[in-house]
Every structure is written in C-alpha cells, then in structure tokens.
Chains A and B, each alone.
Chain A
Amino acid sequence: MRKAIAILLLAIVGYYFINVFIHMPFGEKREGVGKYYLENTVKETGAANVVTAIVVSYRGFDTLGEVTVLFLAATGLGAILFGKRGEKRRLQGASVIVKTTSMMLYPMVVLLGAYVFVHGHLTPGGGFQGGAIIATGVLLMFMSYRHFNVSHNALTWIESLAGLTFATVGLIGLALGTTFLQNFLPLGTPNDLVSAGIIPIIYIAVGFKVGAELTGVLDNMLKTIR
C-alpha cells in the first residue's frame, strides 16, 4: 500500500521532471552571470581558477555559510551524542605493516591536503577538498592505532580561530569603508602563489577549519560507545 502510493507519487514527480528537462538545452552556451565571470575573473580577482574565484570572492558569502554549516554539523553532533563518549575502542590494533604504512602515509596525506588548499586559487581544489583530505589522513591514524587521540582542545582552538579569521577578514573589508569580504590586498600576477588578494588567506582558514571540523565529526562518531 505504502509502496503503491510512493510509486504513484514518484511517477507524477518523474513525469514533470522529464517534461521540464526534455526541453532544457544540453551543452549550449548560456548568457548570464557565468559568462561575465569567465571574462572578468582574472582581471578582477587575480585568480586563475574561476570556480575558486566565484566560491571565495564573488560568492564568498556562500562559503562563509558553508563553513558555518560544517561547524554546525560538528556542534550539532556534539550536542546530540553528548554523554555517549567513551574510551572503549577496538581491542586489537591493526597489524605492524598497516601501522607502519599509515605512519608514513599520514604526514604525506596531511601535506597533500595542505598543498591542495594553499594552491586553491591556481589549481583545482581548495579549502574544502584540502580539509577533507586532511581529515582522511587523521582517519587513517584512527583506524590503525588504538590509542591515537586528537586533542579536543586543539580542535576547538583551530576551529574557532579559523572561523574568526574568516569573519575578521570579512569585517576588515567593512571597517575599511567598503563592503563585507571586500578584497583589500593587492591582486598580484595571476598564477603566482602569492596572488589573488584575500582568496588564499580565506581558503587556508577554510582548509584548517574544515579539516578540524571533519576530524571532530569523525572523532565524535568513533568515540561513541554502542
């Protein structure tokens, strides 16, 4: 019964979907803001990667919100799972080979993550991807070492300071008499590491923050006792 209703409902939704999307042009050029960004990004922001420029500069406000959403998820998880934390972990650590490999991989993964977010304005990737990579590295250690622990204090500090950096960079723009998140640094030459004004600063802050938050999420879930 429930299934029949669901299928009927989905059939209606699907019918409309197909009707709408069958007329939607695929793979054609479109007039609109996208075109403007492609033509003006390098000139206006100094970033070679247009997507990064949009994410951090033109629509930087979205990114602030996005960071907030992750922060919120970490906070919310902390609140929901509060009081369920325990130290009961897997009885047996991983084998020596796994341990050694992870020990060697861990710094490299973290470095890779850092590389990705530092070069966010030049190559694909940025704060979110870099932060996620770092969190994966930490996860590797969680998996192979029984007693591997991240300091909660450190996580809180990194999260808050990175968030405050982002917000402060935004407020500096406002304080200088322009607008929130306005660029106030020289743009430099495109494709240089130090270029694109405040974009790298914001993306590095985002990288740290996302890394810390995702680690916090993993830590919260892993340490929950069943």
Chain B
Amino acid sequence: MLYYIGAISLILIGMYAVLTKKNLLKIVVGLSIVDSGVNLLFISVGYVKDATAPIFSMPSLTADKMVDPVPQALVLTAIVIGLATTAVALGLVIRLYDHHKTLNINKIRQLKW
C-alpha cells in the first residue's frame, strides 16, 4: 500500500512541475519524475507477498512462489522509452536555448500556447 502512495505522490509532484514551472529543463525534470512514479506503480501492482524474483536460478524455486513477471518486462521497456523521450526533449531544449538564449518559457513563446 505504501508503494502505491509513494508512486502516486511522485506522479502528482511531477505533473505539478510540468504544469507550473517556467523553466524548460525543470519541465523535463518533471516528466522524468512522472515516469519514475508510473514505473514504481506498475512494479508494485505485480508484487506478490513472500514471493521470489522470477528467475529459476535454483532448483528449489517453484513457479507458485514467484512475483508476476509481466509488469517487470513491461517496465523494462517503459524505462528505456522514458530515457529516449528525455533525450529528445533535452535535444530540443538545447536547440531552443541556442535560438533564444534563455530557458524561460514566457520569453520563448512565439507561437500561441
């Protein structure tokens, strides 16, 4: 239960940063916090009490005493995708800084937001 609360708080804090912050890099930081929160939430959904990791490294491990492997596989993918999005976002931030010499959203707005 605690995990859920932690994860949801992370998501909300991240979204707050994205919605209110004026600094481009801060917004990207917010996005990555949201990502972390979603990943944590997903892994906690797959957790099973008193179970082991889903790896048959020893013969004594049995399938009915393992956590759900699917969320782990999905989160693995999601983490990598999050990194890709962050990288592209930062590239765009560098481009924007190059043009405007500032990271402040209010000073950048040429197009209507």
Q: Verify whether A and B have any Cβ pair under 8 Å.
A: yes
Contact digits for A57-96, partner B, Cβ 8 Å, 1 yes 0 no: 0010011011001101100110011001000000000000
Among listed A4-12, A149-157, A160-168, A178-186, interface-contacting one: A4-12
- Contact (Cβ within 8 A) B57 A29: no
| Residues from chain B with Cβ under 8 Å of A77 in the complex | 87-88, 91
8 Å CB contacts to B: which residues of A158-212? 190-191, 210
Rounded to whole angstroms, the CA-CA distance of A210 and B54 in the bound complex is 24
Contact digits for A7-36, partner B, Cβ 8 Å, 1 yes 0 no: 101100110011001001011111011110
Rounded to whole angstroms, the CA-CA distance of A41 and B73 in the bound complex is 14
Among listed A46-54, A99-107, A110-118, interface-contacting one: A46-54
| Residues from chain A with Cβ under 8 Å of B87 in the complex | 73, 77, 217, 221
Contact digits for B66-105, partner A, Cβ 8 Å, 1 yes 0 no: 1011111110110011011101101110110010000000
Rounded to whole angstroms, the CA-CA distance of A9 and B18 in the bound complex is 13
- Contact (Cβ within 8 A) B44 A69: no
CB distance from B2 to the nearest CB of A (A): 9
Interface of B (DSSP majority class): helix
Rounded to whole angstroms, the CA-CA distance of A10 and B14 in the bound complex is 10
Contacts between the two chains (Cβ within 8 Å), count: 137
- Contact (Cβ within 8 A) A80 B95: yes
A55 at the interface (CB under 8 A from B): yes
8 Å CB contacts to A: which residues of B7-64? 8, 11-12, 15-16, 19-20, 41, 44-49, 53-57, 63-64
> Interface range on chain B: under 10, 10 to 19, 20 to 34, or 35 or more?
35 or more
- Contact (Cβ within 8 A) B68 A28: no
- Contact (Cβ within 8 A) A26 B70: no
- Contact (Cβ within 8 A) B16 A7: yes
Closest 5 CB pairs of A and B: A73-B84, A34-B68, A27-B49, A50-B54, A6-B19
Chain A residues with CB under 8 Å of chain B are: 2-3, 6-7, 9-10, 13-14, 17-18, 21, 24, 26-30, 32-35, 37-39, 41-42, 48-51, 54-55, 59, 62-63, 65-66, 69-70, 72-73, 76-77, 80-81, 84, 122-124, 128, 190-191, 210, 217, 220-221, 224
Given A55-B73, A81-B94, 15 more A-B residue pairs with CB atoms under 8 Å apart are A10-B15, A17-B8, A17-B12, A26-B3, A29-B64, A35-B63, A38-B64, A38-B66, A50-B66, A54-B69, A73-B88, A84-B98, A122-B57, A124-B53, A221-B90
